[in-house]
Amino acid sequence: MINSTTTYQVGDATIVRVTETVLTTLTPAFVFPDWDASVLAEPVVDPHAGTMDESREHLLLSVHTWIVRLNGRTILIDTGIGNAKDRPFSAVFHQLNNPFLERLEAVGVRPEDVDDVLITHLHVDHVGWNTRWVGGRWLPTFPKATYVYPKAEEDFYSTPQAESRRMIFEDSVVPIIESGQAKAIPGHGGTYLDNFTFHPTPGHSVGHMSISLESRGECALFTGDIAHHPVQVYRPEWSSVFCADASGARRSRRWAFEFGIDRNATLFTAHFPQSSAGRITRVGSGFQWAFV
């Protein structure tokens, strides 16, 4: 699962996933406070669907970045967890040593090749490779890139509620601000490089945004954390334990699903296993997911 790559075409854009790690230890009852085992009847969690482990006791969740090549530019969407970072609040994020940069290079992307890094929100598993430890300090991993993220996410880190996670901001965001490479998107969203639009989808975090890509009449949506697992397509009312505002997350999730249907968009998710990409269709009053 980590080493497999599929190249997607959306208009003139090519899109490929590079995986950092796959989380295999989280139980569905922990991730979803409203967990009901009746969802196991849905095809997306069939034993052969590859979205849970063989025991069906643990969810499979991918952590990855999406590489977009368009108009001569190389663009990353979110940057994962990162290596050698102190994350005492979670063993699955603490002091990792993954060959992520080698995997990027295997698909033809060196750090100096990256022009833009677009970030859905500033959580631990979306900003980690913004920086790397060089010469005794954290420096931008992608030295020529503009890093683009929602301003409300940056502002949140100055509040008391963010104190326990301040280290994420200090080692993965502050260095790109200090290097002059950061660009903040206002709360109402906005366009970037003509083809990309940041859409406010708060709930999971205060300033979370999903990012759409339009090219030659075709559409993609990089969903961020509006949903963590395909079961939420079948149970869109379920917000994860990681969501700061469960009701806001529900509204944003339904918006993203409706957007996918209305625009016939491919959804490039942040944590779904398997290919991590797929399409939403409407079934009665609900939704259905198909990997692509």
* Residues 141-175 pLDDT 10s: 999 999 999 999 999 999 999 999 999 999 999 99
Average pLDDT, rounded, for the chain: 96
Residue 3 has pLDDT above 70, yes or no: no
Question: pTM for the whole thing?
Answer: 0.97
Q: Could you read off the pLDDT of 35-93 as tens digits, one per residue?
A: 998 898 888 887 778 999 988 899 999 999 999 999 999 999 999 999 999 999 999 99
Instruction: Supply the pLDDT for residue 289.
Output: 96
Q: What is the mean pLDDT of residues 213-225?
A: 98
What pLDDT is stored for residue 41 in this prediction?
87
For residue 43, the model assigns a pLDDT of 84
Residue (of 114, 102, 112, 105) closest to 76 by Cα position: 114
pLDDT the model gives residue 45: 81
Convert 152-185 to b/e letters by CB count within 10 Å (16 or more is b). bbbebbeeeebeebeebbebbbbbbeeeebbebb
The residues, ordered by sequence, that sit 6+ positions from 170 with a Cβ below 8 Å of its Cβ are: none
Tell the CATH topology of 7-291. Metallo-beta-lactamase; Chain A (3.60.15)
Question: Residue 4: its pLDDT value, please?
Answer: 61
- What residue spans define the domains of the chain? 7-291
**pLDDT for residue 1 is more than 60:** no
Cβ neighbours of residue 213 under 8 Å, at least 6 residues apart? 10, 13, 68, 70, 195, 196, 219, 220, 221, 222
